[in-house]
Structure 1
């Protein structure tokens, strides 16, 4: 029996699919590295092609233009964030979450490669349709995982019991939309500093306050 993957009635060799997938992955990885180092505006298709060590014909076989590769890179980054959330949820299912587990998702140092270059801000300013499309495509995958994470964090005494996960999700979505539609930061503030200050306010509103001494009152945790 001939092995392969059926496409439009014709078997395609698995090796051919693997080879094409590897070329596409090479291009996405090269583009992501360049975007993170230099931002979006200065990187050209020619530089991506050189970085991926493929021909321009190969690039345009997989991607229609620069915006298309930007979309794929953002999808790849979103997938890695989703995987991190899923890993924390799985840890919670096996045992107990810690405050560090939850806070790790908001640690801006892990996003230095995006926040320190022009990548993040240029994405918001130059490609608003890409970020809008990303939200539409990924909300159905990320929101259920985020909802489960909030539920577990409440049980484990990390997030206030009176926080409604649905309200928190709506608030998060609205804030993301506001930042996307008005990507102009106050003063000379960089995106990383802004993100740190924003999440400091955000987390102070939802994180459980621990008892600091026997004389202080606080919510009991399990």
Structure 2
């Protein structure tokens, strides 16, 4: 086994220059290498048959170096989620920025999310996360690493509201969570082959867009403004829970 990195994380072969930046990049590279080695081993053997010693050997680092980066396999899986989400968000944000139509932009993001959720690598990671009895703090860490996905969808909704294409009364954060929830719910059908990623994206996009797209003449205007613009149309009211008023008399 070759010990490429010293236990304190410093490697004498790191080129000189802007040392803090260079060292940070170097450590990030090795961190990513360890995570990828872990996922390869898990795919081959299953999580229960992977040890930190085996991971150190596969990644080409000493055990001391491995523990410098990760204290256990649970934390390696959390890092995997972070790496996957960061890569996905960076790629899709660039694609979405080039789509001027808000509805098409949201559909694009949903489509790429379906591809991502349906990928073998993503399913493998989720299966392992589901098989780990994670401590509450670790479970929270996983949830926090998913935050950028939520932000990406919410930003699409906010942009559509500003441009007048989506309803003004939407709560972008809540509706982003609902969209991700829909994709999460359809994930088993992706794994079973009942849905292709494109089919799943079409199903979710159709359902979502029928709910978020404004059908009013003044797109995105709040309900009070729409009522003012169309005085002959009564605003919807909540149904009474008491039923019809009874007549008086005995």
Give your verdict on TM over 0.5.
yes
Shift of 1:123: 0.8
1:206 equivalent in structure 2: 208
CA distance in 2: counterparts of 1:100 and 1:90, whole angstroms: 11
2:39 equivalent in structure 1: 32
Match of 2:52 among 38, 41, 45: 45
Shift of 1:59: 0.7
Residues 82 and 142 in structure 1, CA contact (< 8 A), matched pair in contact too: yes
Residues 28 and 69 in structure 1, CA contact (< 8 A), matched pair in contact too: yes
Structure 2: tracts of 5 or more residues without a match = 1-15, 218-250
Shift of 1:84: 3.2
CA distance in 1: counterparts of 2:46 and 2:169, whole angstroms: 37
Matches within 5 A, 1:111-126: 111-115=119-123, 117=124, 119-126=125-132
What SS does the corresponding residue of 2:48 show, helix, strand or coil?
coil
Matched, 1:192 2:191: yes
Under a length normalisation based on structure 2, what TM-score does the superposition of the two structures give? 0.55
1:84 equivalent in structure 2: 91
Between Structure 1 and Structure 2, whose CA radius of gyration is higher? Answer: 2
Relative distance call for 1:19 and 1:85 in structure 2 (3 A) is closer
CA offsets 1:83-127 (integer angstroms, 9 cap, x no match) = 2331233223xx446445542221267522232x4x322312425
CA distance in 2: counterparts of 1:136 and 1:71, whole angstroms: 10
Count residues in correspondence.
188
> Cα RMSD over matched residues?
4.3
Shift of 1:168: 1.4
What SS does the corresponding residue of 1:107 show, helix, strand or coil?
helix
2:111 equivalent in structure 1: 103
Relative distance call for 1:170 and 1:52 in structure 2 (3 A) is closer
Matched, 1:74 2:76: no
Residues 41 and 50 in structure 2, CA contact (< 8 A), matched pair in contact too: yes
Relative distance call for 1:131 and 1:38 in structure 2 (3 A) is farther
What SS does the corresponding residue of 1:207 show, helix, strand or coil?
helix
2:65 equivalent in structure 1: 58
CA distance in 1: counterparts of 2:67 and 2:40, whole angstroms: 19
CA distance in 1: counterparts of 2:200 and 2:48, whole angstroms: 26
Structure 1: tracts of 5 or more residues without a match = 6-11, 180-184, 210-217
